[in-house]
Structure 1
Amino acid sequence: MANDGSPARVWEQQRLEASRALIRSGRQAEARATLDAILAADARSTQALHLLGIVARLEGRLSEAEARQKATLEQDPLLEDAAVELARLLNAAGRAADAIACTEACAGLALPSQALLVERARAWQALERPDKRLEVRERIARLYPGKASTLHNLAAAQGDAGDAAAAEATAKQAMALGGDAPETWLVLARALQSQNRLAEADAAFGEAIRRRPGYFDALRDRAQLLWMSTGDIGAVLAQLDDGGAALPLLGRRMLQASFLAAAGDNGAAYRSIQSAGAHASAEAEAFAARLMLADDPASALAHARRAVALSPDFREGRLALIDALLAVQEEEEARGWIDRELELTPLDQGLIAARWTAWRIAADPRASELYDYAATVLTRKIDTPPGWGSLERYLADLADALERLHAFTAHPLDQSLRGGSQTSANLLVSQEPAILAFAQAIDGPIRQYLASLDLGDSPLRARRTGGYRVAGMWSVRLRSGGFHLSHVHPRGWISSACYIDVPTSAPEEGQRAGWLKLGEPAAPRLDPEFFVRPEPGLLVLFPSSMWHGTVPFAGPGRRLTIAFDIVPDEGSPLSVA
């Protein structure tokens, strides 16, 4: 590189500026020729390499664009413009971990650019690390204060990380700076709901909708609040008819169908979609396929095939096709689709469960190897945390604390439970002493479970890192008649059920009412293979890819549980040494 002020340096700077102007005016070929000339004179011109990467991206040559930005950063790891450009490419391609890696050096600067930090926040969000996303958003707010948009994004991150009180306060600060967009009202409404301030939450949802009629997310969340509070599907449909008039017909019908399905009326949900013309949308076809999966698998398969034909890139359509093929026991074709999807997302526990289902249909011995219940299901009482004289006293205090959080009557959308409620608040950030102590109560059993896993290349064992992180924690309260549909946790690694309270009139062992059942797929109808009888204080750990549900129970009492997912992690506060 020529010294600053030299004729060569001046010539290079002039042509770089000319290239930027050409890029801004859309004259990419001329910009490329100018930049090539710069590199011919100085092959190590990082600015020219960076700008050529931008030209390649604008011309649709994304692989070249990525390579150019990587070459730039190899020469100058602290060139933020290149790091931001590369991170944007990687985030758009769904490669969030790579986006984090390529911005690491610049993030270590005392004052990294806001654009760079925003890309890191997006990447952490895609990686489902709300804690890391929040750290970045807090840093942006410190370094670039005074903007309503910055505070809105911080409030959204606080809400997703489970700190509802902070999200409420920050959203109101954004509004005080003039940031009263519908999105900020939605963030505020969700924060209020997480604090069980339901009337205030409803009003805030309504304010978001008033500012943007037809705001789908706000309409859905407000209707869900009404549904969970009352379980009154008639009231929910009336609210959607009133507030959803600005939605397109198909969107309105699909939203209504979501609540009809949650209320257990898949037939009415299906008719609602069909009345709007499901053939117009791959999303609607995939939804129709799921509605028909249990009662009419052949129709489900026809809808799923149409969804894939309408939009081959629509992932939910492909997943619906896999499930429909399994439902009609066309396991050979299903395996082909499963294998292709696993190449794209090898850690998807739902796909691993689908592959197990295909193996079981075919009586393939690999099914019993994957679902090795004796080796991969742990049942053990949790430990009594410090401060409680007995496990019974701890469970009583924990049940009281959880009961105060259960403000709802009905279950949320897209969840497995029926005949019960689920907490809105993130238990991982609760300051209730009994809930706070739960991490200590489960640490010993989790350590025991991880230590019991042999080394191997199975989807469970291959992910062992020596540490773990609790990725989400919630409580479910089932009443008489309540149960969980058979399901898996697609983004987990190890899942759980911890029984805090169970009905006092326990059934005879042969009845298995209220028991946890494992190895029963959602479709086709195959018998469960393993059962666990619940009792207070019992923790069950099992792979997230294992189908699990519960047998309905009847009679007085409640079935109160805490569930959580574990993912591998190094160096987390809850990690295994």
Structure 2
Amino acid sequence: MLNWLPGRPKPDIHTQIAALSRFQDRLPGRSDIRVKLAGLYLHLGEFGKAESVLGQKVCLDSPDALLCHARLARHRGRASIAEGHFYAAQALGSKVALAELGRLLVEQERYEEAVPLCREALATDPGDFVAAMALCRSLIALNQIDELGQWGGACLALGQWNALAPTALAHANQTELLEGIVSPKSSITSMTNIVDADTPGQLFEQLTEHTSRSKLPASNAGKGGGWRISHLLELGIPSVETLFERIKQGIRERALGFDAPTDWHPLHCVPENVGLETWANIFAGDGYEDWHCHPAGWLSGVFYVDVPVSEEGSSPDGQIEFGPLPISGQNDLEAWPKQLIMPQKGALLLFPSYFGHRTYPSQSSRPRISIAFDVVPKTGH
């Protein structure tokens, strides 16, 4: 039985930026405020604004400041500067600097140097997705496929869960270990008619012009034209609240009934306390999501508010595809076959959060709107 913990109201990113900008004007000597503000701009991909905020006065007095400068330098192509800042942040106790340093080294094809750093980061936090991705890319580049499979198998056998483990096993062709946990037929469920027929129309009107929508964050998988509304369930929209009550009911009825053949299947490890992370995606015709998964989640889902119809009127566009993540640049793997699903207006898809997935552009003048969520394990009551 899942115990749903209430979410805490969070201001949208533009409200946060406005508040921090006011604090910055009133307290120009506070470097921590500049660092937080620059971090939000980095999240949105507005690197010029981030650099302007940080450039008012160089502040390298804390791990957070060093990380912010390092991330900006990395995006600007200043690899040696970024590397120095990451090392300095790690020396000051940053728990994420090693993982980000490993990723930076992989981008420079310095795979042998990246491996021990990533392993050290994962020894501290087995769920560190950035470190895991850098490690797996390095092992593939070094042709150490056995080590790749050993890492993925250890994550499952030892309970050191990392959402990249099934993908690593697929690239290592560990078919037996993957049996039962990557099958779309047993792991992906589609539900229709979970809300009244007029609900999608109400949601369409309420979401397309909502004041909390923002450009697609550069740090997420969304590409092309479109908008995102974060913390959707906490905005007080009645139709959204009704939708998620039905989604919770659907999860109780269907997701907890998945028949997994092995004891370490994540869907068998039902968390006692969970929270919901919710957002809406509003994609223009060329908007889509690149391959990604949801590392923090246990179960994920998407409800289709509106799906454009193709020019010929034959079928809806904007398909969603499931499969392993393309660690090595490709993911056509026998151990984990990909699966295309045609979305339907008013339908709900539920799937394990470790499933890689992407969407295709609709090429329609009408926006493609979906409401997505993660069921995230929580501690406390």
Q: Which runs of 5+ in 2 are unaligned?
A: 91-95
Could you give the per-residue CA deviations for residues 102-140 of structure 1, whole angstroms, max 9, x where no partner exists?
xxxxxxxxxxxxxxxxxxxxxxxxxx9974xxxxxxxxx
For the residue of structure 1 that corresponds to 2:284, the secondary structure is strand
Could you give the per-residue CA deviations for residues 271-312 of structure 1, whole angstroms, max 9, x where no partner exists?
32323444845655632543575x77xx15234225258878
CA–CA distance in structure 2, aligned partners of residues 239 and 509 of structure 1: 50
Q: Quick one: which amino acid aligns to residue 281 of structure 2?
A: V
Q: 1:560 aligned to 2:369?
A: yes
Query: How many Å apart are 1:246 and its aligned residue?
Result: 1.4
Task: Give the conservation status (yes or no) of the 8 Å contact 1:250–1:277.
Answer: no
CA–CA distance in structure 2, aligned partners of residues 251 and 568 of structure 1: 26
Could you give the per-residue CA deviations for residues 143-170 of structure 1, whole angstroms, max 9, x where no partner exists?
xxxxxxxxxxxxxxxxxx3324xxxxxx
Structure 1 counterpart of 2:222: 417
- Alpha carbons of structure 1 residues 563 and 199: separation in structure 2 relative to 1, 3 Å: closer
Q: Quick one: which amino acid aligns to residue 137 of structure 2?
A: A
Task: Give the conservation status (yes or no) of the 8 Å contact 1:253–1:273.
Answer: no
Q: Quick one: which amino acid aligns to residue 48 of structure 2?
A: G
Query: How many Å apart are 1:485 and its aligned residue?
Result: 2.5
Query: How many Å apart are 1:549 and its aligned residue?
Result: 1.9
For the residue of structure 2 that corresponds to 1:437, the secondary structure is helix
Q: Quick one: which amino acid aligns to residue 550 of structure 1?
A: T
Which aligned pairs between 1:293-304 and structure 2 lie closer than 5 A? 299=109, 301-304=111-114
For the residue of structure 2 that corresponds to 1:565, the secondary structure is strand
Which aligned pairs between 1:274-293 and structure 2 lie closer than 5 A? 274-278=80-84, 280=87, 286-290=99-103
- The structure where strand makes up a greater share of residues is 2
For the residue of structure 2 that corresponds to 1:499, the secondary structure is strand
Correspondent of 1:381 among 192, 200, 206: 192
Q: 1:481 aligned to 2:286?
A: yes
Query: How many Å apart are 1:496 and its aligned residue?
Result: 0.8
**Which segment drifts farther, 403-412 or 363-372?**
403-412
Structure 2 counterpart of 1:518: 322
Higher relative contact order (CA 8 A, sep 6+): 2
Structure 2 counterpart of 1:239: 53
Correspondent of 1:212 among 26, 30, 40: 30
Structure 2 counterpart of 1:540: 349
Q: Quick one: which amino acid aligns to residue 192 of structure 2?
A: K
CA–CA distance in structure 2, aligned partners of residues 535 and 129 of structure 1: 28
Give percent identity, aligned residues only.
19
CA–CA distance in structure 1, aligned partners of residues 179 and 118 of structure 2: 31
- Alpha carbons of structure 1 residues 204 and 497: separation in structure 2 relative to 1, 3 Å: same
- Alpha carbons of structure 1 residues 397 and 567: separation in structure 2 relative to 1, 3 Å: same
Could you give the per-residue CA deviations for residues 384-418 of structure 1, whole angstroms, max 9, x where no partner exists?
24xxxxx2x21111122223446454333542222
Structure 2 counterpart of 1:330: 144
Q: Which runs of 5+ in 1 are unaligned?
A: 1-127, 132-160, 165-190, 261-267, 386-390, 573-577
Task: Give the conservation status (yes or no) of the 8 Å contact 1:493–1:567.
Answer: yes
Task: Give the conservation status (yes or no) of the 8 Å contact 1:326–1:523.
Answer: no
Query: How many Å apart are 1:378 and its aligned residue?
Result: 0.9
- Alpha carbons of structure 1 residues 326 and 556: separation in structure 2 relative to 1, 3 Å: farther
Structure 1 counterpart of 2:301: 496
Task: Give the conservation status (yes or no) of the 8 Å contact 2:188–2:351.
Answer: yes
Structure 2 counterpart of 1:370: 181
Higher gyration radius (CA): 1
Correspondent of 1:201 among 19, 26, 44: 19
Could you give the per-residue CA deviations for residues 301-351 of structure 1, whole angstroms, max 9, x where no partner exists?
2342252588785545853553224543533212333455557754x351x
Task: Give the conservation status (yes or no) of the 8 Å contact 1:486–1:522.
Answer: yes
Correspondent of 2:8 among 159, 162, 170: 162
- The number of residue pairs the alignment matches comes to 359
CA–CA distance in structure 1, aligned partners of residues 190 and 145 of structure 2: 32
Query: How many Å apart are 1:473 and its aligned residue?
Result: 1.4
Q: 1:272 aligned to 2:85?
A: no
TM-score (norm 2): 0.76
Task: Give the conservation status (yes or no) of the 8 Å contact 2:189–2:349.
Answer: yes
Could you give the per-residue CA deviations for residues 470-527 of structure 1, whole angstroms, max 9, x where no partner exists?
52211122223322232222232211111112334368989x9621111131402113
Q: Quick one: which amino acid aligns to residue 206 of structure 2?
A: A
Q: Quick one: which amino acid aligns to residue 517 of structure 1?
A: E
Correspondent of 2:68 among 255, 258, 267: 255
- Alpha carbons of structure 1 residues 203 and 490: separation in structure 2 relative to 1, 3 Å: same
- Alpha carbons of structure 1 residues 513 and 236: separation in structure 2 relative to 1, 3 Å: farther
Q: Quick one: which amino acid aligns to residue 163 of structure 1?
A: P
TM-score (norm 1): 0.53
For the residue of structure 2 that corresponds to 1:536, the secondary structure is coil
Query: How many Å apart are 1:430 and its aligned residue?
Result: 3.4
Query: How many Å apart are 1:373 and its aligned residue?
Result: 0.8
- The structure where helix makes up a greater share of residues is 1
Could you give the per-residue CA deviations for residues 533-569 of structure 1, whole angstroms, max 9, x where no partner exists?
1232121111112112223443423221111123579
Query: How many Å apart are 1:530 and its aligned residue?
Result: 0.4
Correspondent of 1:307 among 92, 107, 117: 117
